Amino acid sequence: MNKNSINTSIKLPCGVTLNNRLVKSAMTERISNRKYESTEAHERLYRDWSKTGAGLLITGNVMIDRRHLESSGNICFDDEIMLPKLKKWAEAGKCNGNHVWVQISHAGRQTNKFCNGNPLAPSAVQLKKLGLFGKPNAMTENDIQNIISGFSKAAIITKEAGFTGLQIHSAHGYLLSQFLSPNANKRTDRWGGSLENRSRLLITIIREVRKAVGVDFPISVKLNSSDFQRGGFIEEDSLEVIRMLDREKIDLLEISGGTYEKVVFLMANENQAEVKESTKKREAYFIDFARKVKSISNIPLLITGGFRSYNFCNEVLENDELDLVGMARPFITNRDDISGFLSGKVPKLNNIVVRTGVKQFDDAAEGGFYAKQLIRFSKGKMYDPEIGPVWSSIFLVLYEMKMALSKRFQ
């Protein structure tokens, strides 16, 4: 690779080529209309992100079941009637010749009470998070088959709408991640117990989705390196699942970590005992794990989290430690600088940390700050660095209540 490795193209196993190695990773938009469809706000948001020059944009959570939302403002790909609107979104998102992929997901027990007080999950194990999540019902065999069909249908809608690929979300404690975790999956049937059984749903969905979209349509999987919780999904499990994924010939693997109970994917800026000092010094949150993945797998590898400097991004690409660099929050704080970053004219992007001073509310402050900024962008407004941490920490709860009520009484 040359010194500007981040600005070189990459050909994926399915034959698709991405223009460069920079990816806007998923951030939940929370801006659907009352029918869980995309709007002009999505078109505006993704048209502006397309102009940054990033080779790939990955959408935020797109759900397969409107009863199991990650946010009251999620889009749900469950009905072809919304295709005309989705086509406009897809066109806007790829207007700069880049790719735009849909992240397909099911929240499982991480469906908040405003959306569903008794969601479905692998087992009846309640999420422990500020009382915002109800006790789930354990899924039946029929429920599981409906999940498989739901992912397949969402994949078909994704392709028909004109999006250029998809990502199956099996990280961050959502449903497929719950099946992988011994903490959340207490089943004794073929969907629980051994790692092979706990992986069965993910592998089955990948195979059905591949049948639905064909061999030349990109399929990505987002997977935790670890849940970072005692008794949960650990690195050794993740590496074994990656060996399984290698046999399924997916086109891109994105590595992340954590769940709503341990929000490593959001809060890895600081004091993680689980993160090695060498990793902290090298910006990226999961770079040490990336080396282990590279030693066992040929799947193109995307790492998201922590990347901020041009030289470091090129260093890890040149060293073949990963294949694509994922960023999320810089596409908010530094949206207008991304094109300059790709060319090397902007050497470093901002790393904004939002804290209340009360540890229990810091993840809400961080998440709320960026959620509010993203919603501003969707309305054509600019980034506002003055939004305070206290307001940010309560914003999401109030916003979720508002969105849920607007859809319940439409």
Sign, CA dihedral 268-402-68-213, equals: negative
pLDDT of residue 230: 82
Host H or E run for residue 283: none
Residue 281, pLDDT above cutoff 60: no
Residue 270, pLDDT above cutoff 80: no
Radius of gyration of the chain (CA): 19
First to last CA, the chain: 54
Report CA-CA distances (Å) from 92 to 46, 89, 99.
6, 5, 11
Which residue spans within 139-276 are E strands per DSSP? 165-170, 219-224, 252-256
- Mean pLDDT calculated for residue range 335-359: 92
pLDDT 10s digits, 120-132 = 999 999 988 767 8
Q: What is the DSSP string of 340-383?
A: HHHHTSS-B--------S-HHHHHHHHHHHHHHHHHHHHTTPPP
- Mean pLDDT calculated for residue range 79-91: 98
pTM: 0.94
pLDDT of residue 130: 66
Domain count for the chain, please give it: 1
Would 258 be classed as within a structural domain? yes
Would 376 be classed as within a structural domain? no
Would 272 be classed as within a structural domain? yes
Residue 157, pLDDT above cutoff 90: yes
Confidence class of residue 266 from pLDDT cuts 50, 70 and 90? low
Q: If you search the block for the tokens 């994926």, which residue do you land on?
A: 12
Would 153 be classed as within a structural domain? yes
d(CA 252, CA 14): 10
Residues 6+ apart with CB under 8 A from 123: 136, 138, 184, 185, 186, 187, 192
d(CA 116, CA 109): 9
Would 338 be classed as within a structural domain? yes
Residue 17, pLDDT above cutoff 70: yes
pLDDT 10s digits, 30-76 = 999 999 999 999 999 999 999 999 999 999 999 999 999 999 999 99
Give the amino acid at 268: A
d(CA 117, CA 324): 38
Residue 370, pLDDT above cutoff 90: yes
d(CA 102, CA 160): 12
Would 89 be classed as within a structural domain? yes
Which residue spans within 81-144 are E strands per DSSP? 99-105, 120-121, 137-138
Distance of CA 329 to the CA centre of its chain: 12
Percent of the chain with pLDDT strictly greater than 70: 94
Report CA-CA distances (Å) from 184 to 94, 208, 229, 373.
37, 24, 11, 32
d(CA 407, CA 246): 41
Would 383 be classed as within a structural domain? no
d(CA 256, CA 289): 10
pLDDT of residue 263: 64
| Contact by Cβ (8 Å): 104, 155 | yes
Residue 343, pLDDT above cutoff 90: yes
Q: If you search the block for the tokens 């295709």, which residue do you land on?
A: 83
- Overall size of the chain counted in residues: 410
Look up the CATH number of the domain holding residue 63: 3.20.20.70
Q: Which domain holds residue 141?
A: 5-353
d(CA 382, CA 358): 28
Number of Cβ within 10 Å of residue 230's Cβ equals 8
Confidence class of residue 352 from pLDDT cuts 50, 70 and 90? confident
User: In a 10 Å sphere around its CB, with 0-12 CB exposed, 13-18 middle and 19+ buried, how is residue 44 labelled?
Assistant: middle
Confidence class of residue 246 from pLDDT cuts 50, 70 and 90? very high
d(CA 315, CA 152): 38
Percent of the chain with pLDDT strictly greater than 90: 79
Q: What are phi and psi of 352, to 5 degrees?
A: -85, 125
SS3 98: coil
Residue 364, pLDDT above cutoff 90: no
Would 178 be classed as within a structural domain? yes
